[in-house]
Structure 1
Amino acid sequence: MNWDQIEGKWKQFTGAAQAEWGKLTSDEVDEVAGNRERLEGKIQERYGVAKEDAQKQVDAWIARQK
């Protein structure tokens, strides 16, 4: 799976994203609207991690999606 596929079907992946990053509210996940950079930014804000860490988390999450 790649980000383009996730972006195109974001509504279907919102539950998986919220399960992965439980500190994100459903409103925040909706605000992401399939934008990877926004998702990484929200992860940085909520979890207090560096940009590179957020990118690695998103990469790992993408790899697990089917």
Structure 2
Amino acid sequence: MNNDIAEGKWKQLIGKAKAAWGELTDDELAKAEGRADRLAGLIQERYGKTRDEAELEVRRWFDAHRPLD
């Protein structure tokens, strides 16, 4: 997945990610650093989803929240 968000923009989106995946801590979201693979791994682990399910969910979320430059 090549949907990584620049660190500065990720900090702005952490609140929206927290709303989408409330079981993830602020610390976990910060450590994901806007990297889709890390976020998918956290979702997979926390929510018991398959890797494919988590990656699809993250891809859709990133597409919906893509920062406009």
TM-score by length of 2: 0.81
| Unaligned runs of at least 5 residues, structure 2 | none
- The share of aligned pairs that are identical, in percent, is 44
What CA RMSD, in Å, does the superposition of the two structures yield over aligned residues?
A: 1.5
* 1:6-59 deviation line (CA, Å, top 9, x unaligned): x11110111111110111010100110111111000000100000000011112
**Which 4+ residue blocks in structure 1 deviate beyond 6 angstroms?**
none
Distance, in Å, in 2 between the alignment partners of 1:64 and 1:35 is 15
- Kept after mapping to 1: 8 A contact 2:3/2:59: no
Q: Give the length in aligned residue pairs.
A: 63
Q: In structure 2, give the amino acid aligned to 1:36.
A: A
Higher helix share: 1
